[in-house]
Amino acid sequence: MSLQFVSEVWDLLKTHIDIHDHTDAADSLVNLLVENNYEANEIKEAFSGDKKILTALKNYIAEHDGEEEFTEEENDDDYDEWD
């Protein structure tokens, strides 16, 4: 799905979200996009005019900076070493 389309849907739906919930909704959307393999620069470009999304993206990057993904293979290797 195109991020431009997601951005348009966000613009339409956020008017139906209580203003006090915009931050949480933006955080949820950014998390969903990142979990579905969208890159930060793609999200930033598609949502360039939306301060809530850009702030949520900045916060996401700050929270996850330097984290490595942990795969099942790595997990299995660790257990083998303990046997």
36-64: pLDDT as tens digits: 999 999 999 999 999 999 999 999 999 98
Contact, 22 vs 52, CB < 8 A? Answer: yes
Question: What is the Cα–Cα distance from 10 to 76, expressed in whole angstroms?
Answer: 40
Look up the pTM and report it.
0.76
Residue 74 has pLDDT above 60, yes or no: no
Average pLDDT (1-15) is: 94
Does position 75 have pLDDT exceeding 70, yes or no?
Answer: no
